[in-house]
């Protein structure tokens, strides 16, 4: 029986470029931000981290279908992803064999959850506000879709016959962990910009970011091992993609080296503030999240 991971590739690259890269990036941020916000609320937090997470997720999700549609050869047929237009075709398209089909539906559903949570965060839906059981339940269900959106893009690449992509089954996990890292960094940047913060909230985020980075590093290691076993490591690591892999690696290591220990300081008035150092680390993490996806997408094509 052939090893499932060993494959010689003769497939042509699909020429997925910058739009798909941006989609993968913002999908990761959206899913990660929503999940982090929900986890903070679950732990009883009601500070800027959760608020920023929910306020960030919706605009990010809003960008996703735009990028996806622009990338299509026939953008006005974007709805063919959902509606079967074949003669005699019945109803809706739902092809469980391809993450692209599942992802479109998940994006639609997740868009609904992020929109409602966005409104709730603006105070427009009091029955879903923080602390209300219905709101918690709603966010929990939404988070399942958030996790899916953050990770399925990696599975989508794996479900192909391309070198590198199809040589490792952990791309979905890697993108999910990286989406969580990126979302933590984005929340840090946006939520901590306006002076004093709830220090405890952000300290928790520092530690979470470090955990996500550990997860990313482990998955990156497994990714390289599986790709090496399949014989595609040379393809994955060729120039110029090596530089992007390095950037991605720096974005994973820095939260372990710096963010977890330097993020929160105290100002003259005794209020907690975020340090400039942590801000810089957050920017590097976000660049790393983008670089990881660019390296994966680009090196295989």
Partner 1 sequence: MALSITPGEKYGFFTDTSICIGCKACEVACKEWNGLQSDNTVFLADSFDNTGALDAQHWRHVKFIEQVADAPTSVGNGQAWLMMSDVCKHCEHASCMQVCPTGAIIRTEFDSVFIQQDVCNGCRNCISACPYSVIGFSSASGTAHKCTLCYDRLQNNMMPACAQACPTQSIQFGKVDDLRAVAAKRLDAVQAGGAKNAQLYGADDSVYGGLNAFFLLMDKPEAYALPNASNSVLPGRNNLFGYLAALVTAALAVIAGLVALRRRTEPRPAPAAPVTPDEPAEAPDSAERPPAEEPAPARGESRRRRRSS
Is residue 154 at the binding interface for partner 1, with CB under 8 A as the rule? yes
Is residue 11 at the binding interface for partner 1, with CB under 8 A as the rule? yes
Query: What residues between 19 and 58 interact with partner 1 by CB under 8 A?
Result: 35-36, 39-40, 42-45, 47-48
Is residue 261 at the binding interface for partner 1, with CB under 8 A as the rule? yes
Burial of 230 (0-12, 13-18, 19+ CB in 10 A): buried
Q: Which residues of 107-127 are buried (b: 16+ CB within 10 A; e: fewer)?
A: beebbebbebbbebbeeebee
Q: At what angle do helices 199-229 and 171-191 cross, to 10 degrees?
A: 160
Q: Which of 210, 248, 284, 286 binds partner 1 (CB under 8 A)?
A: 210
Minimum CB distance to partner 1, residue 17 (Å):
11
Do 223 and 174 touch, CB atoms closer than 8 A? yes
Is residue 196 at the binding interface for partner 1, with CB under 8 A as the rule? yes
Is residue 72 at the binding interface for partner 1, with CB under 8 A as the rule? yes
Residue among 14 and 234 whose Cβ is closer to partner 1:
14
Question: What are the distances in angstroms from CA 226 to CA 3, 119, 163, 215?
Answer: 12, 43, 12, 17
Is residue 149 at the binding interface for partner 1, with CB under 8 A as the rule? no
Minimum CB distance to partner 1, residue 113 (Å):
16
Q: Which of 126, 131, 240, 269 binds partner 1 (CB under 8 A)?
A: 269
> Facing residues of 272 across strands?
197, 266
Is residue 180 at the binding interface for partner 1, with CB under 8 A as the rule? yes
Q: How far is CA 191 from its chain centroid?
A: 18
Q: Which of 62, 203, 228, 253 binds partner 1 (CB under 8 A)?
A: 203
Do 250 and 295 touch, CB atoms closer than 8 A? no
Is residue 253 at the binding interface for partner 1, with CB under 8 A as the rule? no
Q: Which of 147, 186, 244, 296 binds partner 1 (CB under 8 A)?
A: 147
Q: Which residue has the tokens 């427009």?
A: 124
Is residue 266 at the binding interface for partner 1, with CB under 8 A as the rule? yes
Residue among 15 and 126 whose Cβ is closer to partner 1:
15
Residues 6+ apart with CB under 8 A from 30: 56, 57, 58, 60, 61, 64, 110, 114, 146, 149, 150, 183
Is residue 217 at the binding interface for partner 1, with CB under 8 A as the rule? no
Query: What residues between 281 and 300 interact with partner 1 by CB under 8 A?
Result: none
Q: Phi and psi dihedrals of 206, rounded to 5? A: -55, -50
Is residue 176 at the binding interface for partner 1, with CB under 8 A as the rule? yes
Residue among 127 and 292 whose Cβ is closer to partner 1:
292
């Amino acid at each position: 029986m052939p090893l499932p991971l060993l494959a010689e590739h003769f497939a042509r690259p699909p020429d997925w470029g910058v739009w798909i890269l941006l989609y993968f990036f913002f999908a990761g941020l959206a899913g990660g931000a929503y999940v982090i916000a929900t986890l903070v609320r679950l732990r009883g937090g009601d500070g800027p981290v959760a608020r920023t997470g929910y306020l960030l997720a919706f605009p990010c999700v809003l960008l996703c279908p735009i990028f996806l549609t622009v990338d299509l050869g026939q953008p006005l047929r974007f709805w063919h992803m959902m509606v079967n237009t074949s003669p005699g075709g019945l109803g809706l398209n739902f092809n469980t064999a391809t993450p692209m089909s599942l992802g479109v539906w998940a994006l639609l559903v997740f868009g609904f959850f992020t929109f409602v949570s966005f409104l709730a965060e603006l105070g427009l839906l009091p029955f879903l506000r923080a602390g209300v059981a219905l709101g918690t339940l709603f966010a929990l269900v939404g988070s399942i879709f958030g996790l899916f959106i953050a990770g399925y893009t990696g599975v989508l690449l794996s479900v192909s016959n391309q070198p590198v992509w199809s040589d490792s089954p952990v791309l979905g996990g890697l993108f999910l962990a990286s989406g969580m890292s990126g979302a933590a960094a984005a929340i840090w940047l946006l939520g901590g910009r306006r002076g004093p913060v709830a220090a405890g909230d952000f300290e928790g985020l520092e530690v979470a970011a470090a955990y996500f980075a550990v997860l990313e590093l482990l998955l990156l290691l497994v990714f390289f091992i599986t790709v090496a076993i399949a014989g595609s490591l040379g393809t994955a690591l060729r120039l110029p993609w090596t530089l992007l892999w390095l950037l991605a690696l720096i974005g994973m290591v820095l939260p372990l080296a710096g963010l977890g220990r330097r993020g929160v300081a105290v100002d003259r008035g005794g209020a907690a503030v975020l340090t400039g150092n942590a801000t810089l680390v957050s920017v590097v993490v976000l660049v790393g999240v983008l670089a990881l996806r660019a390296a994966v997408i680009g090196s295989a094509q």
